[in-house]
Amino acid sequence: MDFRLSNEQAAIQKAAEEFAKGEFDKDIALEHELAHSFPYDIWKKACSLGFVGIHFPEELGGQDYGVLENALVVEAFCRQDSGLGIALSLADFASEIILRFGTQEQKQKYLTPLTRGEAISSGGFTEPDHGSDITFLNTSALKEGTEYVINGGKTFITNGTISQYVILLCQTDPEATPTYRGQSVIIVDTDTPGFSASDVGHKMGIKMTSTGELVFNDVRVPETNLVGKENRGFYQVLEFFDESRIEIAAQALGIAQGAFDRALAYTKERTQFGKKLAQFQVTQHKLADMLTKIETARLVVYKAGWKYDQGDLDARLTSMAKMYAGRIAVEVADEAIQLLGGYGYMLENEVERFYRDAKIMEIYEGTREIQKNTIASSILGKL
């Protein structure tokens, strides 16, 4: 057993850290945060240097690396700035479904623009009445000749108002029993007539990503936009979650480390009662607890990524990584605010934003409770 990153992995991590340190300007981040705007300029630079889609094959503009290398990039970005890191990490959201199940034509058409900085993707699974439970969906795609006609709506869709296409999970056979055996994944270009998107409104964090409400009103797409097999979409999306949850766990890990970095620096500078805060033993214990949580999370996140790249899908480990890293990101960012006192509560001091951005880690891509359900069912099986 060797816990070290390979030289190549360490080089990727260093390159991502250097890029983030050089490009993630604090004032620009604050501007995007306040304007709720996507950081197009920084995203394009990240694409031109190969960070977006690093895990895609070279012929699609990627670098042929795995989920673990992608996680290293995401962690480094989120450590430097939670808001910018998450926005960049999610710019190719759900694309792995096409990567895994799509045809060669679909991959060329839809994935290459993501790595070139010419397109942003979104993944539409959640509906107003179906969040954690997507075993039945109200959004339907019914076959008419060589087309699917899509009707329905999705909510909380990251990049929903800015993406060039949606990777949509919908009901292609509303009569199927069980219902999830009648679901398919279909790509919908967002300039197709009948499609519309609007912003869901103010949210707690990740303000540099748009969160959209999508409406499909007799949207007609060619049958060639079906990804994978008809009526196998639910299973394809579950497999995608096994990968994407590792990426979310890496976001959480980066946020925790970034909040810790800032708390450490502050407590070594700030003096109260004639001493640096870091000289109080209570502060030292807090820092020790924070770093222990981060290091524990890192072990499980990297292991989940490594295992995935071995072709050994382990939903339980992935859920553990996402659940644990998400939880400790919230805890560590909370403690970081505490260590900065009143200054930590202010917008200009980034830990406040790290804290707000951390909370979504326990909600999207399956809530904390849903991860626990996955872990528990792997322990208990059918009772």
Catalytic residues: 365
Query: Residue 125, interface with ligand FAD (CB under 6 A)?
Result: yes
CB of residue 159 to ligand FAD, shortest distance in Å? 7
Query: Residue 131, interface with ligand FAD (CB under 6 A)?
Result: yes
Query: Residue 153, interface with ligand FAD (CB under 6 A)?
Result: no
The region of 177-185, 203-211, 229-237, 309-317 touching ligand FAD under the rule CB under 6 A is 203-211
Q: Which of 135, 292, 369, 376 binds ligand FAD (CB under 6 A)?
A: 369
Query: Residue 132, interface with ligand FAD (CB under 6 A)?
Result: yes
The region of 32-40, 142-150, 226-234, 356-364 touching ligand FAD under the rule CB under 6 A is 356-364
Cα separation, 270 vs 344, in Å, equals 12
* Of 6 and 198, CB closest to ligand FAD: 198
CB of residue 116 to ligand FAD, shortest distance in Å? 22
Query: Residue 139, interface with ligand FAD (CB under 6 A)?
Result: no
* Of 236 and 283, CB closest to ligand FAD: 236
The CB-nearest residue to ligand FAD is: 131
Query: Residue 363, interface with ligand FAD (CB under 6 A)?
Result: yes
Query: Residue 188, interface with ligand FAD (CB under 6 A)?
Result: no
Query: Residue 364, interface with ligand FAD (CB under 6 A)?
Result: yes
* Of 115 and 211, CB closest to ligand FAD: 211
How many chain residues interact with ligand FAD (CB under 6 A)? 23
3-class secondary structure per residue, the chain: CCCCCCHHHHHHHHHHHHHHHHHCCHHHHHHHHHHCCCCHHHHHHHHHCCCCCCCCCHHHCCCCCCHHHHHHHHHHHHHHCHHHHHHHHCCECCHHHHHHHCCHHHHHHHHHHHHCCCCCEEEECCECCECCCCCCCCCEEEEECCEEEEEEEEEEEECCCCCCEEEEEEECCCCCCCHHHHEEEEEEECCCCCEEEEECCCCCCCCCCCEEEEEEEEEEEEHHHEECCCCCHHHHHHHHHHHHHHHHHHHHHHHHHHHHHHHHHHHHHCEECCEEHHHCHHHHHHHHHHHHHHHHHHHHHHHHHHHHHCCCCCHHHHHHHHHHHHHHHHHHHHHHHHHHHHHHHCCCCCHHHHHHHHHHHHCCCCCHHHHHHHHHHHHHCCC
* Of 290 and 333, CB closest to ligand FAD: 333
Query: Residue 287, interface with ligand FAD (CB under 6 A)?
Result: no
CA Rg, the chain, in Å?
Answer: 21
Residues 2-41 that bind ligand FAD (CB under 6 A): none
Query: Residue 370, interface with ligand FAD (CB under 6 A)?
Result: yes
CB of residue 380 to ligand FAD, shortest distance in Å? 14
Q: Applying CB under 6 A, which residues contact ligand FAD?
A: 93, 122-126, 131-132, 156-158, 203, 206, 211, 360, 363-367, 369-370, 373
